[in-house]
Structure 1
Amino acid sequence: MIILVGYATVEGQTRKIADAVATAIEARGDRALLFDITSGGEYAVAHPEAAILCAPVHAARYPAAFSGFVRQEASWLNSVPSAFVSVSLLIRSEFEEEREEAMHFPDALISESGWRPAMIHHAAGALRYTEYDFFKRWIIRRMAEVENAPTDVSRDHEFTDWSLLTRFVGDFLAAAKA
């Protein structure tokens, strides 16, 4: 089976997640077609038979290029087995209300686009302190203090549960082939 692994990334963690999804697909004997949705390139070279799309949430929104792609390709996405990996730091929050909010980030995208992914996985992202400018690093560090998240700005902090992501891919592939 050929599976499109489409992604949009802001700071690089979603690209890393998409790479892990593609690796998990290929480890199970299928072919992954990794595609940066924001590149504007064509993806349909190999006629994918399924799709897993990955996108980060920033300020309660997915990147505009990602949302546009999903709207444009909704009918195709609905015609093949498809899944969505939503990447957000709020999914790891110690506050129930924030985790609940993160669980509902895909709702607006799904409602606006008409895409109906068969499965949704919520992955925690990363704090990329070393890549932030001074102002962003200061703001993110203050927010991290409130969340009891790491505040050491001299290094990055990853929160993605890789084994859970790999299990999600396995579950998706089993369902797609059933």
Structure 2
Amino acid sequence: MKAKTGIIYSSVDGQTLKICNKLREGLLQNNQNVELFSITDFNEDVTNYDKLIIGASIRYGVHNKEIIDFINTHKKQLDSIKTAFFSVNLVARKPEKNTPDTNPYVIKFFKSIDWTPTLVEVFAGKLDYKKYPFFDRIMIQFIMWMTKGPTNTKTEIEYTNWEKVAAFGIQLKNL
């Protein structure tokens, strides 16, 4: 039977999904059987997959609660297969905070759960003030101000390094 890879994601503004689609594309080109699911739509048996990739975005300093609950509930099954986790956040736009060992959200995430995936990565997300509801826009603008990022509400910057995403995709193929 052909090996099967699952990709599960949570995305607030769509950038994590965009990254997942890019990873899926690369795996499909490598003739791998890949299924993509939103965390809210995933109700498969984890062990039906040889590899499971989980991508999660950050909002207000935390990863999606459903992702955390999923990992905590399925830890034993996740530990029995090859797994990968990646985080998408705007802090990763800074070179000194764009690795799993230096990104504060990834560090905090793994201190809060009892799971060690086979592979971990972090990607910078996209800043698009026009997409955000009023409250989110004000909060993100404040966070950007505090972290010396762009605060102009017309700003739209995709910080995602697509070469880094492609390199991660190659690592996933060989996982």
Report TM bin, short chain: 0.7 to 0.9
AA in 1 matched with 2:67 = F
Per the alignment, residue 65 of structure 1 pairs with 66
Mapping of residues 71-86 of structure 1, within 5 Å: 71-86=72-87
Deviations 1:9-34 (A, max 9, x none): 12221111111111111121101110
AA in 1 matched with 2:54 = L
Q: What is the percent sequence identity of the aligned residues?
A: 24
Aligned counterparts of 1:22 and 1:172: Cα–Cα separation in 2: 10
Per the alignment, residue 128 of structure 2 pairs with 128
Per the alignment, residue 91 of structure 2 pairs with 90
AA in 1 matched with 2:89 = S
Mapping of residues 2-151 of structure 1, within 5 Å: 2-39=4-41, 41-44=42-45, 47-93=48-94, 96=96, 103-151=103-151
Taking a change above 3 Å as real, the CA distance of residues 170 and 78 of structure 1, as seen in their structure-2 partners, is same
Question: TM-score normalized by structure 1?
Answer: 0.82
Taking a change above 3 Å as real, the CA distance of residues 61 and 136 of structure 1, as seen in their structure-2 partners, is closer
Aligned counterparts of 2:142 and 2:111: Cα–Cα separation in 1: 33
Question: TM-score normalized by structure 2?
Answer: 0.84
The offset of 1:104, in angstroms, is: 4.1
Mapping of residues 167-178 of structure 1, within 5 Å: 167-174=167-174, 176=175
Bigger helix fraction: 1
The unaligned stretches of length 5 or more in structure 1 are: none
Contact 1:38–1:66 (8 Å) recurs in 2: no
The unaligned stretches of length 5 or more in structure 2 are: none
Aligned counterparts of 1:114 and 1:138: Cα–Cα separation in 2: 34
The offset of 1:71, in angstroms, is: 0.7
The offset of 1:160, in angstroms, is: 0.9
Aligned counterparts of 2:146 and 2:34: Cα–Cα separation in 1: 39
Taking a change above 3 Å as real, the CA distance of residues 102 and 35 of structure 1, as seen in their structure-2 partners, is farther
Deviations 1:70-123 (A, max 9, x none): 1111111111111111111111136x4x66886243344434442211111110
